[in-house]
Structure 1
Amino acid sequence: MNIAILSRGESLYSTRSLIKAGEARNHNMEVLDPTYFQLSVAHGKASILYHNEEVNDLHAVIPRIGASNTYFGASLVRQFELINVFPVVTSEAILQSRDKWTCFQILSQAAVPVPKTIFASMAQLEAQLDSFGNNPIIIKLLQGTHGQGVILAESRQNALATIETMHTAGLQFVLQEFIAESKGTDIRAIVIDGVVVAAMKRKCKTGDFRSNLHRGGTAEAISLSFEEERVALRAAKALRLGVCGVDILQSDRGPLVLEINSTPGLEGIETTTGRNISKSIIGYIERNKR
């Protein structure tokens, strides 16, 4: 098959890993930078140009769309869907997973356990803050990755100051309960085609509460409990994601889904677990591309 990785970083670990896995299975792999695509619709037909040349020979695409390019990236994936190119992650799933509130709404509808989360409203702010009592509050921008746009407010006063600043800047955000018993750790589970293929526990660096490896956290390979695996699979199914990373917090009331990443980084999970996630992604394409 002809498979393209939609990425601006040809030298990035995830991109190189996917190329290696695809070529090992005798697929023609290439990296296409989303910046150089031109999308159009006319006379009932969708077309895609890359460097002014029509793209019409691909069988599948693997989106590696950055958070800063979500809208165009999702539009590009949708354009490929219109010309019957198989996407590892659909345009709808990218948009729904990238918007934290939309993601939580979908998870809630599917009865997937999540931390208590409130869409912030300045008109109802006092009541919303009261609902958390005297406990710390997590304030999250609706879109953000690698722990960016996530703030821990230790007190109501700190929360108010942060919220006022974000509101003045015209930002939208959610308020979320702080799960103290997780002690700065979370679980990243990689789900591919309805199967958890790898999992690791991440721990934050000293002085931080975010466990992202990009922020200096550490990780170790783990085996999920039955309930953790069940929650990860239900979350992926709810968002209709054939490939994703599901972040889970271990709480006193059981596993809680913290976030879903539709284009999870591969370096940390492959290095930590020794699992070839890229090979599993190529296998997913082979099983589902008709």
Structure 2
Amino acid sequence: MKLAILSRNSKLYSTRRLAEAARQRGHSVRVLDPLRCYMRIASQAFDMHYQGKPIAGYHAVIPRIGASVTRYGTAVLRQFELMGSYCPNPSDAILRARDKLRAHQLLAAQGIDFPVTVFGDNPDDTTDLLSMLGPPPHVIKLNEGAQGAGVMLTEKPAASRSVVEALRGLYANFVVQEFIAEAEGADLRCFVVGDRVVAAMRRQAPEGDFRSNLHRGGSALAAEANAGEQAVAVRAAQVLGLGVAGVDLIRSQRGPLVLEVNSTPGLEGIESVCGVDIAGAIVDHVAAHCHQPRTGQGRRRPS
């Protein structure tokens, strides 16, 4: 298999592990900076160059596209798709997952439960909007935040209104959610590859915080997701169209609730905590599903 990994930095743990796992399995691997890929788009013809040379013929592409380059990165990934490469996380699936509001709407339509969420635009509706959610505490999240950034907890109605008004003044997109107190600052990261959870870890928020992200100082231990939690995690990834995903759940009185579906989950924390070769599982999944580019030379008729 000729494999490309889209990543801004080949030295990042996740990128390096994927490349190592692929080479150990005898695959040809190249790490490509998506911002150095540039495209020619014509009727029924899709070509791409990288650092002055044409690139084509990749059987598969694994995207490691950061949130800051989502727009251009997904355009590059879409070009690979149109050139016949298999992508476990297609460009449109990444865009769905990155938009928290859109992702929650899609999950809700399929009966997947998550903290009750409200969204509105007009300042005149703020009081009624918050009443639709219920009394605080409230969790306010930027619509495209990542790694716990842009997530706030408000404990009084006046505080919720103030934060909402401030974010509207900054023209920020955000959602407001119910706070699940019984979770006690913990969540369950389920790493989904294909149709199964290959590893899970329980993350705990540090003292004085409610965000369990490792990037925010949270701690983690290997965990066992039960059958119901695994089914919810796999289903959530499938609804958004992701073959590889980090699905964050919280354990509530009404069952597992989806907090977020991450289309570019990091490998370092969960591999070190669980001792599982997740990079190898991803490469094996990609190899099992990829195919030869159908028309070669970077040109094909889009389906």
Per the normalisation by structure 2, the TM-score is 0.93
Tell me by how many angstroms 1:271 deviates: 0.5
Q: How does 1:260-275 map to 2 (within 5 A)?
A: 260-275=261-276
Cα distance in 2 for partners of 1:197, 1:8 equals 26
Q: How does 1:1-290 map to 2 (within 5 A)?
A: 1-121=1-121, 122-290=123-291
Tell me by how many angstroms 1:40 deviates: 2.2
Contact 1:38–1:52 (Cα < 8 Å) also in 2? no
Contact 2:35–2:73 (Cα < 8 Å) also in 1? no
**Which 4+ runs in 1 deviate beyond 3 A?**
none
The residue identity in structure 2 corresponding to 1:194 is D
Cα distance in 1 for partners of 2:124, 2:248 equals 31
Contact 2:134–2:178 (Cα < 8 Å) also in 1? no
Q: CA RMSD in A?
A: 1.0
Tell me by how many angstroms 1:172 deviates: 1.1
Q: Secondary structure at the match of 2:133?
A: coil
State the aligned residue count: 290
The higher relative CO (CA closer than 8 Å, separation ≥ 6) is in 2
Per the normalisation by structure 1, the TM-score is 0.98
The residue identity in structure 2 corresponding to 1:236 is A
Q: Encode CA deviations 1:209-244: one digit per residue, 9 max, x unaligned.
A: 100001110001111112111111111111121110
Cα distance in 1 for partners of 2:241, 2:35 equals 27
Q: Secondary structure at the match of 2:199?
A: strand
Contact 2:97–2:262 (Cα < 8 Å) also in 1? yes
Contact 2:119–2:129 (Cα < 8 Å) also in 1? no
Q: After superposing the two structures, state which structure 1 stretch, 56-65 or 272-281, moved more.
A: 56-65
Q: Encode CA deviations 1:252-288: one digit per residue, 9 max, x unaligned.
A: 1110001000110000110010001000001011110
Q: Encode CA deviations 1:155-205: one digit per residue, 9 max, x unaligned.
A: 111111111111111111111001111010000001111111000000011
Contact 1:120–1:172 (Cα < 8 Å) also in 2? no
Cα distance in 2 for partners of 1:68, 1:284 equals 27
Cα distance in 2 for partners of 1:132, 1:105 equals 16
The residue identity in structure 2 corresponding to 1:211 is S
Tell me by how many angstroms 1:132 deviates: 3.3
Contact 1:188–1:246 (Cα < 8 Å) also in 2? yes
The residue identity in structure 2 corresponding to 1:160 is R
Identity of aligned residues (%): 44
Q: After superposing the two structures, state which structure 1 stretch, 93-102 or 218-227, moved more.
A: 218-227
